[in-house]
Copies of this chain bind each other. A is one copy, B any other.
Amino acid sequence: MDASRNPTASADWLDAVRWDADGLVPAIAQEAGSGDVLMMAWMNREALAQTAARGQAVYWSRSRQRLWHKGEASGHVQQVHEIRLDCDADVVLLKVTQLGHDPGIACHTGRHSCFFERLQPAEQGGWRWAVTDPVLKDPSTIYT
């Protein structure tokens, strides 16, 4: 994206988004190179405007109730190559490169992707969630 552009020059594109009752939309981050889905977080209007302007992912943290520039604490910044909107205008898709001291780590657990649990048949019948992806970096050393 182009950080030199003023995202508020025309706000029509932000008005086109169908924000939910809390003023949020889900935003999916997909790794541009691999196609891996890294995470899903939430954006409000300001987060989406800043994401376009900075060319880096900015989300709205529902737990902390504030803007969250992804990587501000971990260094695991997401460079944004593309922003897409779905047919109902209520979900955003980002194509990103996961940058930082430890490239390729999107998850706060130190894993590549947040989707590291897979549903598998359980021995006693039914199903269980199984962790399938390795920790690439000890999370206690990420947030220092």
Contacts and interface: CB of A to CB of B under 8 A. Distances in A.
Contacts of A6: 125-126
A92 B35 CA distance: 17
A9 B116 CA distance: 24
A144 interface: no
A110 to B, nearest CB: 10
Copies in the complex: 2
A121 interface: yes
A78 interface: no
Given A83-B118, A84-B117, A37 B93 contact: yes
Say which size band chain A's interface belongs to: 35 or more
Interface string A1-40: 1100111111111001000000000101010001111011
Contacts of A114: 86-88, 91
Contact of A84 (B8, B118, B122, B127): B118
A30 B40 contact: no
A52 interface: yes
A107 interface: yes
Given A10-B127, A13-B126, A85-B119, 17 more contacts: A5-B121, A6-B125, A7-B126, A7-B127, A9-B122, A10-B122, A10-B128, A12-B126, A16-B129, A37-B93, A40-B86, A83-B118, A83-B119, A84-B116, A85-B118, A87-B111, A87-B116
